[in-house]
Chains A and B, each alone.
Chain A
Amino acid sequence: MKCYIGIDLGSTTTKAVVMDAGGEVLGRGITNSRSNYDTASRVAKLEAFISTRFTLFHRALEKVSGLQEAQVDRLLENLERHFRLELFLEQLNDLHQTCAVNADDLRYPGQKDRICAVLDVVFQKLAEKLQKLFGPGVRRKSDFFRDLAGSEYMAVAEEASKTMGVFFETLINIYDKSIIDVENRPPNADMAGKFLRALDRVLREEDLTVDPETIKQAIKDVLDVELEESYVVGTGYGRVRLPFSKDHIRSEILCHGLGAHLMYPNTRTVLDIGGQDTKGIQVDSKGIVVNFQMNDRCAAGCGRYLGYIADEMNLGLHELGPMAMKATKAVRINSTCTVFAGAELRDRLALGEKRENIMAGLHRSIILRAMSIISRSGGVTNEFTFTGGVAKNEAAVTELKKLVRENYGDVKINIDPDSIYTGALGGAEFARRAVEQEA
């Protein structure tokens, strides 16, 4: 089947959306951009295609008589879990092999066998430990391979190094060198095989009223459908790094405008706060951009600002919003300059302000800056859509709602939980139009 793909290469994450010829979204994928846009776009696309398969599995299984909705959901949930494990183990094995190759480096003369023996033990333990992350009902902190494998490797390797007489530093060096190679090789070979092996395991676990062969056939039929990459459009900060021609590249401003329009057709104003830019976009009734403003080179008041503040306060990025929500008042933070705000924050702390109240002030200052960009782009006239990573932050959203109401009255504000895919969605639609409207 024809698939249209939009890829949004953000400074922090890379997103992909797969769309069918009719404009329906089939799948979404996300990965960290890790300063390697080629890999990031490959991984995001792979993820979006995996998610597409699941959408198609769902459609196919719905048609199997005797299978209830709840059963389909559980079945697919388990299938995903096993499938992810397949992928994970394959990457873990790849990491093991790559580490073994890198152990044969001139820096470790004559140590190869000893290092490899340690690696065998380490990876054996890792596989045992990490498999548990894919058990039923377990929530993984991250879906990125590096995040899952990395910290555990450090712990296991440190222990093994002590007992087996290899320097821990050596094991770290080898890991650092190998992980990049492994990340650059997304496990995309024999996807059908992986799905089927995972399915076999699911079917063994499940006690179904329907003949397992029927289910297997339905899944196989879906896997037989070739997902053609009919047209790809790239957008976002790293779009020029995408390995395709200029016709396939669209500005993220246009993509965000169109994406927001597709999600909420009455949108006239879009605010996107991403990792390092803030965009105020005005669109018409067809989703065509009529005006835009964005921050200049200084990324103050963008997602990175929150990241920096989180580091300053020794918190996780996702903890900032909830903390700010507990504030009893918002401390005035005058600067959106990240560095100055950091100084102001320490200043306030030293004066005895509560962290919650300072956090509330910081969120307010970000949104104030965004409001100025919006007003420069033409203000808010009708429905307003907020997108980007910062739209996931509850405190930012609360401030935004307050300030939009204060400045523009009662305006409908849309925030989609999948708003992070807005740019990629617009890109996919541009891709679809490039082919479908020309035909």
Chain B
Amino acid sequence: MSADIQTEVIKEASMLKQKEMIARNYDELTSTAESGRKMVSTFVPGNLNELINCFGMLNNLPEINAINNGMRKKSGAMIMDAERAGHSEDVCTYVKADIGMMSKGNIAPNGKPMPAPDMLLLSYTGCFTFMKWFELLRHEYGCETVMLQVPYTGDGVITDNMRQFVVKQLKEEVIPAMERVSGVKFDIDRLRENLARSAKAEDDLVWVLESAKNVRSPIDAYFGGVYYIGPIFTAFRGTEDAVEYYRLLRGEVEKRIEQGLGPITPEGDMDEERYRLVVEGPPNWTSFREFWKMFYDEGAVVVASTYTKVGGVYDLGFRHDPERPLESLAEYCLGCYTNRNLPSRVELLEKYVNEYQADGLLINSIKSCNSFSAGQLLMMQEIEKRTGKPGAFIETDLVDPRYFSAANVKNRLESYFQMINQKRQSTKVA
């Protein structure tokens, strides 16, 4: 997501800004011994960054570390280490990459060791593995661990009960624990300020993501999208940095639209837009560039993706709200993409295929992610039925390089693109 993009050929101001933000964040994380700041480890979906910041604490996201290690081709060895330590081949590879990273001294991308967390905050429980992951970390670090029970929206709606249930936990468990760990008293006005900044950045992010509705999209909402969501889903939401990043990004995208440019790729501006796709599922991180190239070489642009909504879904109208601080935090946790039931996910995908004038839906199913892979094939078939657009299914993994078979993925993608083409031609003839 926010992994460094050091080899990006074209550097726009927003890219440089993000790179600098990430580097600074890792420096802060790895210098807590000197600064005395406390560190919270938490997960991306529905994270409580604004709240963490209220206590002057730093936010460390183990998934992001795993992604970072995946993109820097380090995760393979880490996963093997975890397997040697007894973790099964079928276990989530984010978990194994994290465990392997610990066994290698927990070295951050800046080359310095990460400190042990002062607090483990589980703010989203829709991924069962998260709970087990933190149990492993708790066993390792023995630090304060808070589990925020976020009810699954099994009926597709957030009820008042659910919201109140989460708010109650925030008040009675999360906030007191944070006060204990940080020694800082909770200040709701500070939270309101953070949330106001979040909302501002979120507005610009949504604008950027929706710019892909232009036919000749100025962005790739998946491969480019994972960079765009970096700040909002990680340690920067609610900061002035994030506001500035999204302001810059929006300006750059506006300019691309004016100039009639397509998305930026690692090899420059994309030429012709031949296929418009909606993608479900995370990208493969270990062969990210190779994977991306399979799309832009064929003129395939991802115009909308659900992965860019795993942290939180903004394009259906949600914004962090300074007027309802704890309630809106609760809604954020409850509303993230991964906490939505299958019918809501299908609805969102259908909306994307239609509103973004996509040629079809592609699912990248993750080998080692059991909870989100279940049901994906049915989702695809349902979207095909509802939209009449062809779907396709590929399988890779998050950060285990052994599960990325380039020839196989390329074969399926090319077949899919040609299938779309063939369908178009046949409807033209008819």
Contact = CB atoms under 8 A, between A and B. Distances in A.
B395 interface: yes
A106 B257 CA distance: 67
A251 B391 contact: no
Nearest to B394: A296
Interface in A285-328: 286, 288-294, 296-297
B405 A251 contact: no
A376 interface: yes
B373 to A, nearest CB: 12
B389 to A, nearest CB: 11
Contact of B405 (A286, A291, A296, A376): A296
B88 interface: no
A42 interface: no
A39 to B, nearest CB: 20
Given A291-B391, A297-B405, A254 B377 contact: no
B412 A288 contact: no
Contacts of B411: 237, 251-253, 294
Interface in B409-430: 411-412, 414-415, 418-419, 422-423, 426
Given A291-B390, A291-B391, A378-B381, A251 B408 contact: no
Nearest to A258: B422
Interface string B383-417: 01000001111010000000101011001101100
Interface residues of B, number: 21
A288 B422 CA distance: 7
Contacts of A289: 415, 419, 422
Contact of B393 (A254, A288, A293, A297): A293
Contacts of B390: 290-291
A250 interface: yes
A291 B414 CA distance: 13
B280 to A, nearest CB: 16
Given A254-B422, A291-B390, A378-B381, A296 B408 contact: yes
Interface residues of A, number: 19
A21 B412 CA distance: 30
B422 A292 contact: no
Contacts of A277: 408
Interface in A248-294: 250-254, 277, 286, 288-294
B397 to A, nearest CB: 10
B426 A292 contact: no
Contacts of B381: 378
Given A296-B408, A378-B381, A288 B415 contact: no
B423 A251 contact: no
Contacts of B403: 297
Contact of B418 (A251, A294, A297): A251
Choose among B392, B393, B418, B422 the residue with the greatest number of A CB atoms under 10 Å from its CB.
Answer: B422
| A-B pairs, 7 with minimum CB distance | A297-B405, A251-B415, A253-B415, A296-B395, A289-B419, A297-B408, A251-B418
22 contacts: A237-B407, A237-B411, A251-B411, A251-B418, A251-B419, A254-B415, A254-B422, A286-B426, A288-B426, A289-B419, A289-B422, A290-B390, A290-B419, A292-B415, A294-B408, A294-B412, A296-B395, A296-B408, A297-B408, A376-B377, A376-B393, A378-B381
